[in-house]
Structure 1
Amino acid sequence: MNNSYKKLVDQFSKLAHLEHALTFLQWDHMVMMPPGGNTPRSAAIAELTSLHHQELTSSKTGELLDQVTAETAVEEQSIKEMRREYQQAVCLPADLVRAQSLAGSKCEHDWRNQRQQNDWPGFLKNFRPVVLLARQEAQARFDAAIEPLASPYDAMLDLYCAGDSAGFIANIFTRLKKELPNLLQEVMEKQKQNPTRLATSSYPIEAQKELNRQLMKSLGFNFDHGRMDVSAHPFSTGCRGDQRITTRFREGDFLDALLATAHETGHASYEDGLPEQWDNLPIGHARNLSLHESQSLFFEKQIFLSAPFIHYFTSFIHTHLPETLKYSGKQLRDAAISVQPSYIRVEADEVTYPLHVILRFEIEKELINGQIEAEDIPELWDHKMTESLGLSTKDNYKDGCMQDMHWTDGSFGYFPSYTMGALNSAQFFATIKKTFPDWEKNLRAGDISFIRRWLKENIWSKASSMAGQDIIISATGEKTNANFFLSHLRDRYLKDLY
């Protein structure tokens, strides 16, 4: 390691230590901290965030990047990722960042009540400035991009789905938008023949917690390197050796927690599987959210909801929740994969969820590129929901265009990662099934070690050393392809092959 590169490594290690402190302050803020601690904690987080930004965008960091030379291909890629992180932070004027923080905070705060009151005019008043500032951010990022981008929206998309352009995603989504509505009707007709609802019952929360810990163990989670807690919204965070998972529990629905826990275990497994030799460096980060979501959805949809794994895990469900003894593993699984169009994205099933995402992608792309205005959204939302899911949201803003909080703080470009992740997860599992002919037998025995080895070798160990689509090509032989996801849905919901 030459001296100029070593100085950069030291600088980014310092930044990583600040990120570490922020991560666990924020985790505690959301999980453990008493309400009275909000003011000093918020001040501490703001101070550390400011210090991190100042250090990252300092003249020292810029000078080190200007002076550095690479001696190996790995160092060259590492420096590229450092420049990318630096450029994404330094390209925005400080006054724009401050204005966005203020506008986003007000919009998100007021949205909490405005949504409940179905108050679109009130929300629009706060949302217009958020959109205007997001367009300024998109243009600034577009102008400063190291590699040419097709549109300002692509610059926002690059924050979350790096390497997956709007054009590439649009082509994939067009295929899904064409085929999913008909597939949905076929699935619903088939499920009418065998209703899959579970009877109303009460499942003790403490028993559910033990059951979810067992699921994490079965999925390979190491409790010496992490823990599970409770929060209003499930999430995963942490670092190597200290992965924090949260889930939520409802007395009347034990499946909801299990699905969330499996999902977050996938996120945590990816983070814990990143290469140790690149700790603290941008090259060692997860590549993008299209891959991160693929890992969470892989553990939730491909492993946990597979028939052989549910067959294995049913005995644990019966043991921890004796109320479920009247249900077979197949009945439990059928209830978990029930399909029904609904207004709310976060409650959507595996078949309809992509249609919710496509709607948001199409609207936000045109919004950021200046092709539509904020006041056009309700009518577009209603049209697209009616077209794809047969549900009108006319005058129903609460369950329509005001249901998500992503846009309230200007997080445009995030939504596509959810469905790109679903497609990637199906593509990975198709490859794994070809590679391991005994996959079904292994899952029926509760053995997922072969899957974790494959993921570590082909996805986790790559971190950000390659472009996202290059990682997928290396693992599966081709770029993200909707065929695998559509085949997965037909097999699961129409042919009942697994």
Structure 2
Amino acid sequence: MSYSALTHHFEQQHHLQHLGAICGWDQATMMPSGGNQARAEAMSALAVLSHQQLQDPKLADWFASANQASLASDQKVSLAEMHRQWRDATMLPSDLVGALSLAGSRCEHAWRSLRPANDWAGFLPLFAEVLNLSRQVAAARADVLGLSRYDSLLEQFEPGMRSATLDSVFNGVKQWLPALIKEVQDKQGSEIVLQPQGPFAIEQQRALGLDVMALLGFDFNHGRLDVSVHPFCGGVSEDVRLTTRYDEHDVAQALMGVIHETGHARYEQGLPAQWRKLPVGQARSMGVHESQSLFFEMQLARHPAFIAQLSPLLERHFGTQPAFAPDNLAKLYTRVKPGFIRVDADEVTYPAHIMLRYEIERDLIEGKLEAKDLPERWDQLMQRYLGLSTQGNYKDGCMQDIHWTDGSFGYFPSYTLGAMYAAQQASAMQQQQGSLEQLIEQQLPSIFDWLQHNIWQHASLLDTDTLIEQACGQPLNESAFKQHLQQRYLG
């Protein structure tokens, strides 16, 4: 009886989260700017309502009773995931949740205009407020969980992951990444690569994106594609909302963005329907989620066999030109060059962007770095890892990401964890089913079937370590990722 009461309660939570997700999507895509204050207040009220429902005193009794009940194995896992979500909610006071939601909405909305203006002075007080509230959240979580403040936030996105593990894995990457970047650049220095000649009309880019989404098996009855300042995948499994951004002079930016977000969307659409309204039916972690988007974008879409299928689609929408030849596109989509912008980075230099952000956000939350000193630290690490200076260039430096504007500290490591998980999945898939080249050319749907069977259908029924080891035959490590990069870029 108590277990049934808990499932009903958490299904109601799912409905509130559904509304919040669609409101957030609308805020980023459709909402007129004048509506932001009212929307921020409404979303804050919704966040408080959801939080208060999770703090309902009767839940404690229900959990105590359900823990004594005779439950099936999957029900026990579901109960544990509900308890984890309840535990996370009850360790924070509602006024702190509401304050962070409101401050985050204000900061994120202001960021949309302050970043293009390179206005760090205008952004700083808004960001400092979000950081202060995030530190309070971290302190409250740390006291309950017995973790460091940063690890208590990391736990929200990567359950079971700790900064000590990240330090070990990232230190391993640091041993070989700088030399690899240089070696690949030296190798590519003599290559002749043709740039596609635009302009590329936005409506035609959108049509191309829809065609590629269909090729990748996206279910348009349960999702759609729109435009936002920062590409994302939102909504819920039954109604997935993808966004991208367009540049009339660069067709690859939107195309690869759509493919990346389609990977997220296919994971959401592939989650088990019978569990979707409960915590156990949600994605396992952000790292696992990112592994799906990076599998689609990096392992799949930049593979020469898949590029051979993109080439005729580009020609269909934009006409024939030498730059659209498969061999040229393969070179174009695997260029390695250190740059300022994380979302535009190639897969070889990308980990450097993540390690930089990880080190900074860890020190911000632990109180070792203050908001006002962020630009200087950013510049130091950019010079160390990528040989670039961002001094005075805030919009391409510490203001470029949306994540910290709403307090999403602890999120960034998920990107490189996802790249490593994706490489491990690709390696395991090929050991079991044959080369990616053969699968892409002859059995593209079988790739998605493998992901469905080994990743998507498990949702949060398995912990991350078990999920990855069961699917890939080994736990998290950087070896498959290193091997992938060396094979693709050095041969």
Whole-angstrom distance in 1 between the partners of 2:470 and 2:422:
14
- Structure 1 counterpart of 2:83: 83
1:48 to 1:128, Cα distance in 2 relative to 1, 3 A: closer
1:287 deviation in Å?
A: 0.7
Letter in 1 for 2:82: M
Deviations 1:353-408 (A, max 9, x none): 11011011112212222333334433332222112111123343333223323223
Return the offset for 1:413.
0.5
Deviation for aligned residue 1:236 = 1.7
Are 1:164 and 1:469, in contact at CA under 8 Å, matched by a contact in 2?
Answer: no
Asked if 1:183 is matched to 2:180, the reply is yes
Shift in Å at residue 178 of structure 1? Answer: 2.2
Instruction: Report the TM-score, using the length of structure 1 for normalisation.
Output: 0.92
Q: Which residue of 1 aligns with 2:270?
A: 273
Q: How does 1:193-212 map to 2 (within 5 A)?
A: 193-212=190-209
1:364·1:412 contact (CA, 8 Å) conserved in 2?
yes
What is the aligned partner in structure 2 of residue 174 from structure 1? Answer: 171
Deviation at 1:324, TM superposition (A): 3.5
**2:60 is matched with which residue?**
62
Contact 1:311 1:444 in 2 (8 A): no
Task: Map 1:304-319; keep pairs closer than 5 Å.
Answer: 304-319=301-316
Q: Which moved more, 1:486-495 or 1:118-127?
A: 118-127
The aligned counterpart of 2:466 is: 470
- CA distance in structure 2 between the partners assigned to 1:474 and 1:390 by the alignment: 39
Aligned to 1:8: 6
Query: CA deviation digits over 1:150-175, x for unaligned, max 9?
Result: x1110011111222211111111111
Q: By how many angstroms is 1:437 displaced?
A: 1.5
Matches within 5 A, 1:424-463: 424-445=421-442, 447-463=443-459
Distance 2:353 2:265 in 1: 25
Report the number of matched residues: 489
CA contact (8 A) 1:201 1:323 kept: no
Which position in structure 2 is the counterpart of 1:338? 335
1:73 alignment counterpart: 73
Task: Note closer, same or farther for the CA distance 1:125–1:247 as it changes in structure 2 (3 Å cut).
Answer: closer
CA distance in 1, matches of 2:369, 2:45: 37
| 1:126 to partner: Cα distance | 4.2
Q: Tell me how large the CA RMSD over aligned residues is.
A: 2.3
SS at match of 1:370: coil
Bigger shift: residues 127-136 or 166-175: 127-136
- Given candidates 370, 374, 378, the residue that maps to 1:377 is 374
Query: 1:248 — aligned with what?
Result: 245
Distance 1:246 1:293 in 2: 16
Worse-matched range after superposition: 232-241 or 452-461? 232-241
Equivalent residue runs for 1:249-264 within 5 Å: 249-264=246-261
Structure 1, 386-395 or 321-330: larger mean CA deviation? 321-330
Deviation at 1:486, TM superposition (A): 1.2
Please list the CA deviations of residues 273-300 of structure 1 after superposition, one character each: whole Å capped at 9, or x if unmatched.
1111212111111011000000011111
Decide whether the 8 Å contact of 2:242 with 2:261 is kept in 1.
Answer: yes
Kindly tell me: are residues 134 and 23 of structure 1, through their superposed partners in 2, closer, same or farther at Cα, counting changes over 3 Å? closer
Return the offset for 1:265.
0.8
CA distance in 1, matches of 2:102, 2:231: 26
C-alpha distance 38-385 of structure 1, shift in aligned 2 (>3 A): closer
**How far does residue 465 in structure 1 lie from its aligned partner after superposition?**
1.2
Which residue does the alignment assign to 1:27? 25
List structure 1 segments (4+ residues) > 6 angstroms apart after TM superposition: none
Deviates more, 1:418-427 or 1:90-99: 90-99
1:53 to 28, 51, 58: 51
Deviates more, 1:413-422 or 1:383-392: 383-392
Is contact 2:40–2:106 with CA below 8 Å preserved after alignment? no
Q: Whole-Å Cα distance in 1 between the matches of residues 477 and 212 of structure 2?
A: 30
Residue deviations 1:232-261, cap 9 Å, x none? 332222334432222222222111121011
CA shift for structure 1 position 17: 1.7
1:124 Cα deviation after fit: 4.1
Q: Unaligned regions of 5+ residues in structure 2, if any?
A: none
Q: In 2, Cα distance between the equivalents of 1:174 and 1:282? A: 33
Q: Taking structure 1 as reference, are residues 462 and 100 closer, same or farther at Cα in structure 2, changes over 3 Å only? A: same
In structure 2, do the counterparts of structure 1 residues 233 and 494 end up closer, same or farther at CA, with 3 Å as the change threshold? same
In 1, Cα distance between equivalents of 2:250 and 2:77 = 46
Please give the alpha-carbon distance, in whole angstroms, between the structure 2 residues aligned to 1:237 and 1:364.
24
- Shift of the 268–105 alpha-carbon distance from structure 1 to 2, 3 Å rule, reads closer
CA distance in 1, matches of 2:380, 2:35: 45
- What is the correspondence of 1:481-492 to structure 2 with a 5 Å cutoff? 481-492=477-488
- Conserved? CA contact 1:338–1:349, under 8 Å: yes
> How far, CA to CA, are the matches of 2:393 and 2:264 in structure 1?
34
Find the aligned partners of 1:284 and 1:278 in 2 and give their Cα distance. 4
Query: Residues 16 and 327 (structure 1 numbering): CA distance in 2 closer, same or farther, change over 3 Å?
Result: closer
What is the distance in 2 between the residues matched to 1:385 and 1:224?
A: 43
Contact kept? 1:77, 1:283, Cα under 8 Å: yes
Structure 1, unmatched stretches of 5+, are: none
* Mapped pair 1:391 → 2:388: yes
The amino acid that maps onto 1:23 is A
Q: Does 1:157 align with 2:154?
A: yes
1:109 to partner: Cα distance: 4.9
For residues 104 and 41 of structure 1, the distance between their equivalents in structure 2, rounded to whole angstroms, comes to: 12
Task: Answer yes or no: is the 8 Å Cα contact 1:92–1:140 preserved in 2.
Answer: yes
* Alignment partners' CA distance in 2, 1:261 and 1:442: 22
How far apart are the structure 1 equivalents of 2:35 and 2:106? Answer: 21
SS at match of 1:224: helix
